[in-house]
């Protein structure tokens, strides 16, 4: 029965992808859903992009090990989202409206008047996010293997076939609407499991008493406050301008919709945050000797829940995985077809041909990670964390400060990106000296390179600033209206 | 150790769970409420400004 629920879910997302292909008429539809998404679908797709195997498996495992207080991390993440929604999103939406921007390299290339930065951004995205697809595929195949004994090779192929299919056909329309379904499945699947696992553990009070008898810190301060703050702050920094999330702002109707969508995504995230905490701590009481904490979710699904709800929980895990990889895949496909082929090389195609080219690139980009997932590297869970560190170290400073500081230049941005990601990679390779998270070294380097590089080079033109700064827009409008007039 | 023991003693509990852990959910709810109040104010200001400019 559990497998029937899972198959039903997979068929539903395939169906949505097949249906949504009809709404795609041009590149803007394919990469940004025409910029027409409403608040509910927008909120769901934002939340779904945030959720991954890391949430459905990894976070549950963290709660298994650390108890409830790991949930504070969500508030650091949300703080980052508020900055994105209120500071970055309006400027991104303005760029979408004025220049038809569709990607993060579009944003950087326009703001810094540089094709070089566009290419650097694409290379970093391809490398760092490519790794995350591998990690997600491995995570999903692991779940199918533990739950149903599906060989891991077959598991990788099944998961990949489904998300590649709907992404290639329907682009962001398909992703956004499958994300809505996936968020409902995820939130409902985990939330409905909570009363069952808590009552199996003897009720809320008994659960806490049993947790305290295992380790008193599980009901107090499981993760020490200094560590919690350090981890939370690194999430906060890394997620500012995080490309797969920020890119969603282009696809929503207007600024009002974006702000509402972010609020709706917080509601989805809160339901999931509370649910994964309860599933994790209950698993600790019910199965205190799991081989690895990552087995908490699949074990609860198969051993504790009734078959239909167990299938729903497993579908929720796959939903989290597929929603993230489809978002990553579309972003990588657009980086190659839109940024490199169209913008940098300058090949102009008809609307239809551009969509088909993007579809072909998305297909290829979806297939490339599969062989790597079939021969997984050790410590695959660590890949996501390292990829996030590399991406944040490259993009956080240049996207946020580029949108609020007019003096920022292409040289400053390039030094910042290369310096940030280079420092983060070196710090990771050195094994995090002094136990310090790479972010605490890479972001200062990125900031220093950004400000110094910008201040010693010529500012970008007013035309480049105009899409992002209202006063520059107004100046240009005035100058255009009054010939010969130029403001200082 | 003494400090740790002191810290644990000071932790108030409700239904077997530390108050500091209950606070996570309280702060989450407040965060979302404040977010909606602030952004809806921004939204209505923006919508009013748009109406004025169209009018």
Does any domain span residue A117? yes
CB burial string A134-164: b at 16+ within 10 A, e below? bbbbbbbbbbbbbbeebebeebbbbbbebbb
Cα A423 from Cα A438, distance rounded (Å): 8
Quote the ipTM score: 0.90
Q: Is the dihedral of CA A239, A241, A244, A250 positive or negative?
A: positive
Q: Which of A68, A74, A219 is facing B28, going by the closest CB pair?
A: A74
A157, part of any domain: yes
Pairing label, strands B17-18, B13-14: antiparallel
- CA A411 – CA A198 distance, rounded (Å): 55
Phi, psi of A227 (to 5 degrees): -65, -45
Total number of domains in chain A: 1
* CA neighbor of A42 nearest in space, from A222, A316, A251: A251
Report the interhelical angle of A104-111 vs A89-99 (nearest 10°).
80
Residue A289 covered by a domain: yes
DSSP secondary-structure letter at A293?
G
DSSP assignments along A393-420, one per residue: HHHHHHHHHHHH-TT--HHHHHHHHHHH
Note whether residue A456 is domain-resident. Answer: no
Minimal CA separation from A259 to chain B, in Å: 6
pLDDT value for B54: 74
B39 exposed, middle or buried (CB, 10 Å; 0-12, 13-18, 19+)?
buried
CB contact under 8 A, A273 and B28: yes
Q: Where does A306-409 have alpha helices with state H?
A: 307-334, 351-367, 369-374, 380-404
The residue among A361, A314, A296 whose CA lies nearest residue A158 is A314
Name the stretches of chain A with pLDDT < 70: 376-382, 482-488
Q: Closest partner residue to B16 among A78, A208, A262, by Cβ? A: A208
Residue A36 included in any domain: yes
A73 HSE (CA, 13 A, CB side)? 26
Q: Is residue A103 a part of any domain in this protein?
A: yes
Q: Which of residues 28-47 of B touch A (CB under 8 A)?
A: 28-29, 31-32, 35-36, 39, 42-43, 46-47
pLDDT in tens, A215-264: 999 999 888 888 899 889 988 998 998 899 999 999 999 999 999 999 99
Kindly report the CA angle at A60 between A56 and A66, in degrees rounded to 5?
155
Query: If you measure CA to CA, which chain B residue comes closest to A72?
Result: B24
Sign of CA dihedral A84, A89, A95, A101: positive
How far is the C-alpha of A482 from the C-alpha of A432, rounded, in Å? 58
The closest of A5, A14, A325, A294 to A145, measured between CA atoms, is: A294
pLDDT (tens digit per residue) in A41-72? 999 999 998 888 788 888 899 999 999 999 99
Closest to A428 measured CA to CA, from A366, A480, A378, A383? A383
- Note whether B32 contacts A69, CB cutoff 8 Å: no
Residue A106 and residue A122 in contact, taking contact as beta carbons nearer than 8 Å:
no
By Cβ distance, the residue of B18, B31, B47 closest to A78 is: B31
Q: Residue A151 belongs to a domain with what CATH number?
A: 1.20.1730.10
List Cα–Cα distances, A90 to A95, A413, A419, B9, B46, in angstroms.
9, 21, 28, 48, 12
Evaluate whether residue A283 is within a structural domain: yes
Determine the Cα–Cα distance for residues A57 and A381; give it in Å rounded to an integer: 10
pLDDT of residue B1: 41
Domain span holding position A102 = 2-378
Integer Cα distance of A324 and A15 in angstroms: 18
Report the pLDDT value the prediction gives residue B2, as an integer from 0 to 100.
45
User: What DSSP state is assigned to residue A252?
Assistant: B
What pLDDT, in 10s, does the model give residues B4-52? 444 455 678 999 999 999 999 999 999 999 999 999 999 999 888 888 8
Q: Is residue A17 part of a domain?
A: yes
């Amino acid at each position: 029965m559990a497998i029937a629920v899972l198959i039903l879910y997979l068929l539903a997302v395939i169906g949505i992808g097949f249906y949504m292909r009809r709404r795609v008429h041009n590149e803007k539809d394919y990469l940004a859903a025409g910029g027409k998404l409403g608040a509910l679908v927008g909120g769901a797709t934002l939340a779904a992009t945030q959720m991954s195997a890391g949430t459905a498996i990894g976070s549950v495992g963290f709660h298994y090990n650390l108890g409830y207080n790991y949930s504070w991390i969500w508030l650091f993440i949300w703080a980052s989202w508020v900055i994105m929604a209120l500071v970055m999103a309006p400027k991104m939406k303005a760029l979408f409206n004025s220049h038809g921007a569709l990607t993060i390299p579009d944003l950087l290339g326009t703001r810094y008047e540089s094709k070089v930065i566009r290419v650097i951004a694409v290379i970093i995205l391809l490398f760092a996010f490519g790794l995350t697809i591998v990690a997600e595929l491995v995570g999903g195949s692991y779940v199918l293997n533990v739950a149903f004994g599906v060989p891991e090779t077959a598991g990788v192929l099944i998961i990949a076939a489904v998300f590649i299919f709907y992404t290639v056909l329907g682009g962001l329309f398909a992703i956004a609407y499958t994300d809505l379904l996936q968020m409902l499945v995820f939130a409902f699947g985990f939330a409905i499991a909570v009363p069952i696992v808590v009552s199996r553990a003897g009720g809320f009070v008994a659960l806490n008493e049993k947790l305290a008898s295992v380790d008193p810190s599980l009901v107090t301060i499981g993760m020490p406050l200094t560590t919690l703050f350090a981890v939370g702050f690194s999430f906060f920094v890394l997620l500012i301008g995080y490309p797969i999330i920020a890119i969603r702002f282009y696809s929503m109707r207007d600024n009002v919709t974006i702000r509402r969508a972010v609020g709706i995504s917080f509601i989805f995230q809160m339901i999931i945050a509370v649910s994964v905490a309860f599933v994790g701590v209950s698993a600790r009481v019910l199965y205190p000797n799991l081989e690895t904490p990552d087995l908490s979710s699949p074990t609860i699904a198969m051993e504790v829940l009734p078959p239909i709800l167990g299938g729903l929980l497993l579908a929720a895990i796959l939903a989290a995985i597929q929603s993230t990889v489809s978002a990553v895949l579309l972003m990588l496909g657009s980086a190659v077809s839109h940024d490199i082929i169209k913008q940098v090389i300058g090949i102009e195609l008809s609307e239809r041909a551009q969509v088909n080219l993007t579809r072909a690139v998305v297909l290829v980009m979806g297939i490339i990670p599969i062989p790597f997932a079939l021969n997984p590297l050790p410590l695959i869970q660590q890949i996501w964390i390292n990829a996030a560190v590399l991406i944040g170290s490259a993009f956080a400073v240049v996207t946020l400060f580029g949108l609020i500081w007019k003096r920022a230049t292409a040289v400053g941005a390039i030094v910042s990106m290369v310096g940030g990601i280079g420092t983060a990679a070196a710090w990771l390779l050195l094994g995090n000296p002094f136990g310090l998270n790479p972010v605490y070294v890479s972001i200062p380097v990125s900031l220093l390179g950004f400000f110094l590089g910008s201040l010693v080079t010529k500012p970008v033109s007013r035309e480049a600033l105009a899409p992002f700064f209202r006063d520059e827009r107004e100046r240009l409008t005035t100058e255009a209206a009054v010939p010969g007039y130029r403001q200082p | 150790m003494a400090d740790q023991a002191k810290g644990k003693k000071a932790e108030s509990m409700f239904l077997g769970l530390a108050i500091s852990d209950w606070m996570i959910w309280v702060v989450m709810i407040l965060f979302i409420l404040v977010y909606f109040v602030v952004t809806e104010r921004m939204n209505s200001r923006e919508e009013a400004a748009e109406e004025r400019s169209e009018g």
